[in-house]
Structure 1
Amino acid sequence: MPPWNASKAKIQLRLSVQRLKTLQQKKDAQAKSTRRDIATLLERGKVETARVKVEALIHEDIHVELLELLELYCELLLARFGLLDQNTREPDIGVKESVCSIIHAAPRTELKELHVLRDILMHKYGREFSIAVMENRDSCVSDRVMRKIDIATPSPELVDAYLYEIAKGYSIEWTPPNHKDSDSAEGGAKDSGSDADRKPADSLTGNTSELRPQASGTPPIDGDLQESKDLPAKPPPYTSAKPSKSSSASPEPAEDEFDVLAKRFAALKKR
């Protein structure tokens, strides 16, 4: 077993980070080309062939996510290289997850730099530790890495979602059966129709201010002012005039006749 070489391990970590980034960019370019091919198949109506290609595309996307995780772990080991450089039989808790994940997942990649880094870590921590990591004892490997490594057939719903997004991205009219957006679109059309049905009722009942006469306190418009100028002035309202002091001093004619008659009745009684 070769001795631990800190400088060589650090160089190998940096090389692994660079190669992981390059491989991710390469796979992203390949994924774009694959999506374009799938869109062409959908446009030609070859849905089954497109579904097969989508399943392969999903596996590639998961693999790219695994590469991203391994790149993150390599950068973490570089940042905490002091903990990695300790002379111990097991890694420190601060770098244990990264070491275990690289040892366990590196064989699933095609990067020689990552394979060399894995050998360096296995030689540092010994055979027993390496076997325990490969068997994932005590769940030492990250759950995220284990999910990316697990190979399973994508569900039909996930495949349909990929196909729908690809068709939408390339402006191709294709929707999977029992798609939720179609149901929501129908519901939206119904709602818009009900709104349209409500508009005539709103126009009849909503704005009735035009049908109401203006209040007396509101100023007239210009036409009303012109008509008011042409009309004659209204006579003042009738008010009963109060009697003055001079008129109250002189007796009224009705009262004088009454006094005269009263005097005549008195004279007749005396006779």
Structure 2
Amino acid sequence: MVPWNGPRAKVQIKLSIQRLRTLQEKKLALAKASRRDIADLLNKGRVETAKLRTEGMIQDDIYVELLEVLELYAEMLQARFNLLEASTGTEPEPSISDAVCAIVYAAPRTELKELQVLREILMHKFGRNFSLSLQQSDPPPATVPVRVLSKLALFTPSKELVDAYLGEIARGYGVAWTPESSNNDTAAPEDDEDGGIEPLKRDGETEADDKDKDGGDGDAGGGEKDAKGGSRDQKTTVKDDGEKQKQKEDKTSPVKQQPTAIPPPASATPAPAKKLTEEEELAQRFEKLKNLR
């Protein structure tokens, strides 16, 4: 274990920050090349291979986020180095506790030798018990920040996340590809436009049964017609009785005088229209055209 040395620790923090930035740039360049390769796979129709590559790219993106968080904590130690050097107890000051615990816990999960040397310096600074409390365990130590634990958690990317990554890559490189879920969503309304789902028939029903049903409906219609014919005969007899009763009432009641129609006055009849000459007709047409304008 490397013993504590203030100037050396300060230089080691600075080296760790530089290496963290360099590694992030390297990972981002590799991710860009990986996205281009995935777009080529989608263009060739190798979707399954593209999905596997995308899962690896998602893990690399999470690793880059972890490097960003560790860089932030290293800069915090650099800015508050006086507090770090003045600490004499077995635990760091509360203002730098998250930074120290994050670097000691997460440094072994990185590929940076400079960060691992800084980890050993910090472990020597705060003692053996502090170092043992930050060993890998399940559940993880409570002193480690949650933002670091979330980046270190192992998981398999979900199908929705992989499809979202593939969709963005296809859109960025102009590849005609859409996720399977979106294709299923667009196919459903097309089925409705074609006429919907046909009603299900019971077992044993055939077209002949449908024809028999139609024939039965026709017979029922004939019976209804006969019933209508009988009702019409009854209506005619009732109508004749009503006319006879009305004639009897007319004989007994006095005759009413009908008002005489008055002819309309002679002035109300329209006068015959005068026949216009060709010049007058042309003049009227021009007037209509002017009004239209």
Question: How far apart are residue 179 of structure 1 and its match?
Answer: 2.1
Does the 8 Å CA contact 2:2/2:124 hold for their aligned counterparts? yes
Residue number in structure 2 paired with 1:257: none
Q: Secondary structure at the match of 1:171?
A: coil
Residue number in structure 1 paired with 2:167: 164
Instruction: Map 1:18-97 to 2 at 5 A.
Output: 18-86=18-86, 87-97=88-98
Determine if the alignment matches structure 1 residue 144 to structure 2 residue 123: no
Output the CA distance in 1 between the equivalents of 2:142 and 2:133.
10
Question: How far apart are residue 2 of structure 1 and its match?
Answer: 5.5
- TM-score, normalised with respect to structure 1: 0.66
Determine if the alignment matches structure 1 residue 173 to structure 2 residue 180: no
Which ranges in structure 2 are unaligned for 5 or more consecutive residues?
Answer: 194-289
Are the structure 2 counterparts of residues 47 and 138 from structure 1 closer, same or farther at C-alpha, using a change threshold of 3 Å?
closer
Question: How far apart are residue 84 of structure 1 and its match?
Answer: 0.7
State the Cα RMSD in Å: 2.5
Deviations 1:23-78 (A, max 9, x none): 00000000001000000000000000001000000000000000000000000011
Output the CA distance in 1 between the equivalents of 2:149 and 2:184.
34
Output the CA distance in 1 between the equivalents of 2:183 and 2:46.
23
Residue number in structure 2 paired with 1:115: 116
Q: Secondary structure at the match of 2:90?
A: coil
Q: Which portions of structure 1, spanning 4 or more consecutive aligned residues, are displaced by more than 6 angstroms?
A: none
Output the CA distance in 2 between the equivalents of 1:32 and 1:145.
25
Deviations 1:62-99 (A, max 9, x none): 00000000000000011111111122221000000100
Q: Secondary structure at the match of 2:33?
A: helix
Comparing 157-166 with 128-137, greater Cα deviation is found at: 128-137
Residue number in structure 2 paired with 1:99: 100
Output the CA distance in 2 between the equivalents of 1:178 and 1:3.
57
Output the CA distance in 2 between the equivalents of 1:105 and 1:2.
18
Output the CA distance in 1 between the equivalents of 2:45 and 2:63.
29
Residue number in structure 2 paired with 1:253: none
Larger radius of gyration: 1
Does the 8 Å CA contact 2:2/2:120 hold for their aligned counterparts? no
Question: How far apart are residue 180 of structure 1 and its match?
Answer: 8.7
Are the structure 2 counterparts of residues 125 and 180 from structure 1 closer, same or farther at C-alpha, using a change threshold of 3 Å?
farther
Identity value in percent:
54
Question: How far apart are residue 9 of structure 1 and its match?
Answer: 0.6
Output the CA distance in 1 between the equivalents of 2:170 and 2:141.
44
Are the structure 2 counterparts of residues 180 and 117 from structure 1 closer, same or farther at C-alpha, using a change threshold of 3 Å?
farther
Are the structure 2 counterparts of residues 55 and 138 from structure 1 closer, same or farther at C-alpha, using a change threshold of 3 Å?
closer
Are the structure 2 counterparts of residues 170 and 140 from structure 1 closer, same or farther at C-alpha, using a change threshold of 3 Å?
same
Are the structure 2 counterparts of residues 3 and 115 from structure 1 closer, same or farther at C-alpha, using a change threshold of 3 Å?
closer
Output the CA distance in 2 between the equivalents of 1:169 and 1:135.
40
Size of the alignment, in residue pairs?
191
Output the CA distance in 1 between the equivalents of 2:72 and 2:6.
20
2:106 maps to amino acid: A
Output the CA distance in 1 between the equivalents of 2:185 and 2:176.
12
